[in-house]
Amino acid sequence: MPNETLAKHLFHWETQPMKWAMRLRVALYLAQALEYCSSKGRALYHDLNAYRILFDKDGNPRLSSFGLMKNSRDGKSYSTNLAFTPPEYMRTGRVTPESVVYSFGTMLLDLLSGKHIPPSHALDLIRSKNFLLLMDSALEGHFSNDEGTELVRLASRCLQSEARERPNAKSLVISLMSLQKEAEVPSYVLLGIQHETAPSTKPLSLTPLGEACSRLDLTAIHEILEGMGYKDDEGIANELSFQMWTSQMQETLNSKKHGDTAFRAKDFSTAIDCYTQFIDGGTMVSPTVYARRCLSYLMNDMPQEALGDAMQAQVVSPDWPTALYLQAACLFSLGMENDARETLKDGTNLEAKKNKN
């Protein structure tokens, strides 16, 4: 995410304030991100603020910082300034999906004003129909009263003291869709940042494994990995003292052997279990075992776990193109095509470099 935070562009801009159309786009993208989280059973995004929104290479806003969400499903974690805390959190000490919508309302205030205004102060201005005092003076003449009124109305609905009176993420998306302006203009133009266009590249000359990974042909990948055996593990540091050749060590090696048998027989669930026992034994490291478990995970429709193993194979053996090819296959499986193609290119370049040496 190379283009800074929302806080930087909104509160600490240097060359130009954020345009009205871009503020509306940020609000929509953020609402869509929250709706996506909710649809995946992760509705409790903790401590939503302008520092958690980052801009990608195309200038599009992205929601970040999911650690608290992953580690706390019961809503007991909140670290924001108490002036911006949902009122029910003050009473119960818990974050609810409605609390997240309240925090979204504070984000709308940030976008409207270009400042971090406490909700109580903003609501006083709204109730007294002085909402224009809320608006960022840098936006003067760049939005219609109707647009400003609608966004203020949406913010005030999100900031209702009664949680049940707030809209849900889906209705926020619907409301914000109708407000979008200059939809055909790329985000990097609205944001006023440089945009590097990718140079035209000739088609990659892929190895059989690279080709199989680019097609996500798991059967072909299996055949290639099986044919490679463990020759690429040569030179991996596995210094074992005499004392380590114990029954536990033998058990670890047996689990690898059983994993290889299952892998050959295409019993990928058993292969995962056996290779996991070998890895958890901790006495030896093998990039090939990580590669084989990676493919076994892919065969079992577990691409996220597979990606973790492909990355671990690269940690163990940084100059091993197979690890990058498998990462590309995992990324294709996760629908991350641009990242997959970049990783495929990295693997091809690494292999060419190795062959040249």
Q: Cβ(99)–Cβ(75) under 8 Å?
A: yes
Residue type, 273: D
Cα torsion 168, 47, 23, 141: sign = positive
What does the alpha-carbon distance between residue 127 and residue 144 come to, in Å, rounded to a whole number?
Answer: 20
Helix (H/G/I), strand (E/B), else coil: 125: helix
To 10 degrees, the CA torsion angle through 175, 58, 62, 327? 130
Catalytic residue among 47, 110, 136, 260: 47
**Rounded CA separation 156/42 (Å):** 24
Helices (H), the chain: 6-11, 20-39, 67-71, 87-92, 97-113, 119-127, 145-158, 169-177, 187-191, 208-215, 218-228, 247-264, 268-281, 287-299, 303-316, 321-333, 337-356
DSSP structural state of residue 165: G
Other Cβ atoms less than 10 A from the Cβ of 260: the count is 20
Query: Per residue in 299-331, is it b (16+ CB within 10 Å) or e — as a string?
Result: beebbebbbbbbbbbbebbeebbbbbbbbbbbb
- 47 an active-site residue? yes
Contacts of 21 (CB under 8 A, 6+ apart): 180, 181, 182, 185, 190
Rounded-to-10 torsion of CA 129, 134, 138, 139: -50
Q: Mind telling me the catalytic residues?
A: 47
